[in-house]
């Protein structure tokens, strides 16, 4: 019952947020922008987005290896895409991360607690990279020019985010400290690829002004979308672009179009996991003692 209520609330919040956004923008401009988006740039965005997911799967595998669970790269990638499918298309279930923990614990008796730590730390390393890029882009954007007092704080966050992540890892996730540097490097690479994907979507829409501001809003919306408030972050991303572009006096319809296109790329990529469901049973996995 709790899961059903949680899912219902997510559906209601997603619907309400989209309804609000669509009633605040020029729908004709939204439709025109969607129809005129350059398909070659969108294809490039799709490829780059999936490269970021492959890099993310490789980062997660480093955490698994640290606890003695050595997954073949191909199997780890299959499991990652199946998890993406569960997250987006089955939001009322245990979720992609929960499914990975359940499956690996069931077959290898690794322990739910340590698997949960690995998956959680993987998410947190991605969030650290997100914050790092977001505050750097903010410091160079028009938002910082409008509010220059926020620039020193943004630079301070960029300077402290990885030392704080190191201290937190040492304090709460000590078994994973040995892979702190490589996983953080992978995290920066993952988010950089997502930034490139976002830039390609901007190019597909023919946006030649405020590109840095669009990318800043993209990163901020990605941080906000981490909160489990809506389905797949839909609604909160659009709200971020709506208010973020209005704040600097820009027409928000193109920003909402960008958000829709990014969701379509995410959904199409996640849908690939459906075709891998019958290959998710771990037939070729080695287990090592840490």
Q: How many domains does the chain have?
A: 1
Percent of the chain with pLDDT over 90: 51
- The mean per-residue pLDDT over the stretch 43-67 comes to 95
Cα–Cα dist 77/95, whole Å: 17
Assign 289 a pLDDT band (cuts: 50, 70, 90): very low
Q: Phi and psi for 130 in degrees, rounded to 5?
A: -60, -50
Q: Considering the domain boundaries, does residue 97 fall inside one?
A: no
User: 87 lies in a domain?
Assistant: no
Comparing CA positions, the residue from 270, 278, 286 lying closest to residue 53 is 270
Rounded Cα–Cα distance for residues 140 and 134 (Å): 10
Mean pLDDT value of segment 212-232: 85
30 within some domain: no
More confident position, 7 or 207: 207
- Nearest by Cα to 133 from 46, 220, 263: 220
Give the structural domain span for 251: 38-68+120-272
23 in a structural domain:
no
Whole-number pLDDT of residue 286: 46
Task: Give the Cα separation of 17 and 262 in Å (integer).
Answer: 17
Whether residue 17 lies inside any domain: the answer is no
* 31 belongs to a structural domain: no
Q: pLDDT tens-digit profile of 177-193?
A: 999 999 999 999 999 99
The confidence band for 99, taking pLDDT boundaries of 50, 70 and 90, is confident
Q: Is residue 127 part of a domain?
A: yes
> Is residue 204 in a domain?
yes
């Amino acid at each position: 019952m709790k899961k059903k209520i949680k899912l219902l609330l997510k559906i209601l919040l997603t619907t309400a947020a989209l309804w609000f956004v669509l009633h605040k923008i020029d729908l004709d401009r939204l439709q025109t922008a969607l129809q005129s988006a350059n398909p070659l740039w969108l294809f490039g965005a799709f490829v780059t987005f999936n490269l970021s997911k492959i890099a993310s799967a490789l980062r997660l595998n480093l955490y698994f290896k640290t606890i003695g669970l050595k997954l073949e790269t191909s199997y780890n990638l299959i499991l990652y895409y199946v998890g993406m499918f569960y997250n987006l298309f089955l939001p009322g279930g245990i979720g992609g991360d929960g499914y990975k923990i359940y499956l690996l614990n069931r077959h290898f008796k690794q322990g739910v607690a340590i698997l949960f730590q690995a998956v959680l730390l993987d998410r947190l390393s991605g969030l650290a990279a997100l914050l790092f890029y977001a505050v750097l882009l903010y410091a160079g954007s028009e938002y910082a020019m409008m509010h220059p007092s926020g620039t020193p704080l943004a630079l301070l966050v960029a300077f402290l985010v990885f030392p704080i992540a190191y201290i937190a890892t040492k304090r709460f996730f000590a078994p994973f400290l040995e892979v702190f540097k490589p996983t953080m490097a992978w995290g920066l690479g993952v988010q950089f690829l997502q930034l490139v994907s976002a830039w390609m979507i901007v190019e597909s829409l023919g946006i030649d002004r405020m590109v840095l501001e669009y990318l800043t809003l993209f990163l901020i919306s990605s941080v906000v979308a981490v909160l489990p408030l809506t389905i797949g972050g839909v609604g909160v991303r659009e709200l971020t672009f709506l208010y973020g572009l209005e704040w600097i006096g820009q027409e928000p319809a193109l920003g909402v179009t960008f958000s829709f296109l990014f969701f379509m790329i995410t959904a199409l990529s996640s849908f690939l996991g459906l075709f891998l469901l019958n290959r998710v049973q771990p037939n070729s996995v080695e287990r090592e003692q840490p």
